[in-house]
Amino acid sequence: MPLLGKRITEEILVQQLVQGSRDAFCALFKIYHPKVMGLCIGVLKSQIEAEDMTQDIFIKLWDERAKLIHVNHLSAYIFRMSKNRLLNHLESKQVRINHLQSYKITEIEKETPHDLLVASDLQLLVDMVVEQMPDQRRVVYKMSREQGLSNSEIAEKIGVTKKTVENHINSALKALRSVIKTIITLFFC
Amino acid sequence: MSRLRDIIHYFFHHNFTKATVKRVHERIVRKEDRSDFNSALEQCWQDSSSKSIAAQTDVALLQLQKKLGWTSPEQATKKQWGYWIRIAALWIIPLVSVGSSIYFFREMEEARSVAMIQYFVPKGECQRVILPDKSQVYLNGGSLLVYPEQFNSEQREVFLAGEGHFSVSSDRKSPFVVKTKAVNIQVYGTVFNIAAYPNDAFTTTMLEEGSVSVEINSTSTNYMLIPDDILSYNNVTGEVTRSRVDSRRTSHWRDGFLSFESERFETVILKIERSYGVNIRVMNPSYSANLITVNFNRNETIERVMQVIKSVIPRLEYIIEGKNIYIK
């Protein structure tokens, strides 16, 4: 029942917004601001950029409120607006960067064969997980996998026991496995 | 099968270095598997919104109402005060330490009828303030901005101790003036950066767009700046120097970068202190001859920053003890 109630209130608010009610707009802002801001900050990773984008999205929602007359699901509508804005922003940023370093354009626009893309995606994901590891674990992991040192060599180098090194490697692999569920075996066995 | 979904999902819920963020952004804009991106992002949309973000909603709504030009005054001020009072608790100690604030209060007595708002940004942070005329100021760490709740009609006056990046809305009839201890800057709708920390050796004004005139308080001399001009006033000797810079590069602190282009050792140290909220004691004066050019982003740890400083200046040794750093 409360869910149904929420949906009805939202429908009424949307109707009022279409008619130009500022109060209805503010009420909807309070409901959706945390979601939009959360989405923007999660993607942009910059508080300032996310604030600006969120404001732009809601200004657009207000300016184009007439369109809402055809909208059944406000949440899905605001999500699509936000997603498109985010993509446009990232694309224009990309264009700016490419413009600065024009030699890179060819590299990015070039079609990458599918398997190469899968490999580079995997590399990116691995790098991201490794970046989240505690400092010592990351160091141990890199020495082991990238420099190919043995556990006892690592233990000696950074002054911990071999057991600690083994624990770090196990935890590191576990973290990787939990994110990269399938192909991991090919790479780490 | 692409990994984009896993990448987006993992990316969304963690924080990364600038370099990794850039790699992921580059990956997102590839057009190959947009539908994967869409569905991954939709999942994030379901999960998004947190308590800490919800806490920003009221302030964001106020900013938006200002932008749309429909702040109903009674409602807005009431809420604003709640916000300011919360922040007020934060300023009491810094306010005492900012010795020059006494100067502001003297100035403020003249205009007692207008309520003044004081905005203090702690070290290690960077915040944005929207002024009553919708001008926008980014304040760097350790800065204090004092401005009236409502600007009077003849002149828009604000007081700054610290560093601010101003985007001023144009209004020919009511000039915008930034007052600092050493200089006053008269503005005609423009974008500029001013660094006027009370403890710094220099007060510097840098113009990005438009035009400003800088008045040196002690001599009442005026300087007109054109874009990319930087005017430095030596707070001790009173010497004024004007040079040219790439202003976009130098104001990067707003995006979390720390950029130094042939800057004095002392300046670099002060900026690191402000950005990281640490105290740095320099025990050896001989480093001050060094000019430093280096770029950091704010995700760098202080340990890493100090390592880089060490690699730039041969023979420099330092110890980090919590929030205190000693340079020998």
**Parallel, antiparallel, or unpaired for β B229-234 and B240-244?**
antiparallel
Q: What is the DSSP letter of B170?
A: P
Q: Give the residue-averaged pLDDT of B128-139.
A: 88
Q: What is the mean pLDDT of chain B?
A: 79
- Taking CB atoms and an 8 Å cutoff, what residues of chain A touch B56? 33, 37
Burial of B84 (0-12, 13-18, 19+ CB in 10 A): middle
Q: Give the residue-averaged pLDDT of B47-55.
A: 75
Q: What is the ipTM of this complex?
A: 0.84
Mutate to test the interface with B, among A37, A39, A45, A127 (most CBs of B within 10 A): A45
Per-residue pLDDT band for B208 (boundaries 50, 70, 90) equals confident
Residue B5 has pLDDT above 70, yes or no: yes
Highest averaged pLDDT of the listed ranges A31-40, B247-256, B281-290, B303-312: A31-40
What pLDDT, in 10s, does the model give residues A93-118? 876 665 555 444 444 445 566 777 77
Mutate to test the interface with B, among A43, A52, A123 (most CBs of B within 10 A): A43
Q: Element (H or E) spanning B36, and its range?
A: helix B34-47
Query: Measured between alpha carbons, how far is B161 from A87 in angstroms, rounded to an integer?
Result: 39
Dihedral angle at the C-alpha atoms of A175, A181, A187, B4, nearest 10 degrees?
-100
**Parallel, antiparallel, or unpaired for β B156-167 and B176-179?**
parallel
Mutate to test the interface with B, among A35, A52, A83 (most CBs of B within 10 A): A35
CA-wise closest residue to A173 among A129, A128, A115: A129
Highest averaged pLDDT of the listed ranges A77-81, A110-114, B25-29: A77-81
- Taking CB atoms and an 8 Å cutoff, what residues of chain B touch A91? 29
Percent of chain B with pLDDT over 70: 81
Tell me whether residues A118 and B1 touch, CB distance under 8 A: yes
Query: Measured between alpha carbons, how far is A148 from A51 in angstroms, rounded to an integer?
Result: 44
Query: In chain A, which residue's Cα lies nearest the Cα of B53?
Result: A34
Dihedral angle at the C-alpha atoms of A154, A159, A162, A165, nearest 10 degrees?
-60
Looking at residue B70, its pLDDT comes to 77
- Taking CB atoms and an 8 Å cutoff, what residues of chain A touch B41? 39, 43, 83, 86
Residue B305 has pLDDT above 50, yes or no: yes
Per-residue pLDDT band for B76 (boundaries 50, 70, 90) equals very low
Query: Measured between alpha carbons, how far is B193 from A168 in angstroms, rounded to an integer?
Result: 47
Q: Give the residue-averaged pLDDT of B302-316.
A: 83
C-alpha distances out from residue B277 to A3, A145, B126, B163, B267, Å: 46, 36, 12, 15, 15
Query: Measured between alpha carbons, how far is B126 from B143 in angstroms, rounded to an integer?
Result: 9
CA distance B288 to chain A (A): 33
Looking at residue A88, its pLDDT comes to 92
Looking at residue B75, its pLDDT comes to 44
Looking at residue B178, its pLDDT comes to 92
> B174: how many CB neighbours lie within 10 A of its CB?
14
Looking at residue A37, its pLDDT comes to 93
Looking at residue B251, its pLDDT comes to 62
Looking at residue A188, its pLDDT comes to 46
Tell me whether residues A128 and B128 touch, CB distance under 8 A: no
Tell me whether residues B67 and A55 touch, CB distance under 8 A: yes
Tell me whether residues B29 and A48 touch, CB distance under 8 A: no
The alpha carbon dihedral of A62, A64, A70, A75 has a sign of negative
Q: Where are the beta strands (DSSP E) in B136-244?
A: 136-139, 143-148, 156-167, 176-179, 183-187, 191-196, 202-209, 212-216, 221-225, 229-234, 240-244
For the record, the structure tokens of B37 come out as 């991106």
Query: Measured between alpha carbons, how far is B278 from B250 in angstroms, rounded to an integer?
Result: 22
C-alpha distances out from residue A186 to A135, A189, B117, Å: 26, 6, 61
CB distance A94 to A109 below 8 Å: no
Q: Give the residue-averaged pLDDT of B27-55.
A: 83
Residue A54 has pLDDT above 90, yes or no: yes
C-alpha distances out from residue B47 to A125, B58, B256, Å: 20, 21, 27
Residue A144 has pLDDT above 70, yes or no: yes
- Taking CB atoms and an 8 Å cutoff, what residues of chain B touch A38? 48-50, 53
Q: How many CB pairs under 8 A join A and B?
A: 126
A→B interface, C-beta within 8 Å: 22, 26, 29-30, 33-35, 37-39, 41-43, 45-46, 48, 51, 54-55, 58-59, 62, 79, 82-83, 86-87, 90-91, 93-94, 108, 117-118, 121-122, 124-125, 127-129, 131-132, 179-180
Closest partner CB to B48 (pick from A30, A42, A129)? A42
Closest partner CB to A94 (pick from B6, B13, B29)? B29
Q: What is the mean pLDDT of chain A?
A: 82
The verdict on pTM exceeding 0.80 is: no
Per-residue pLDDT band for B285 (boundaries 50, 70, 90) equals confident
C-alpha distances out from residue B286 to A52, B139, B234, B325, Å: 44, 32, 21, 17
Per-residue pLDDT band for B41 (boundaries 50, 70, 90) equals very high
CA-wise closest residue to A77 among A140, A38, A35, A46: A35
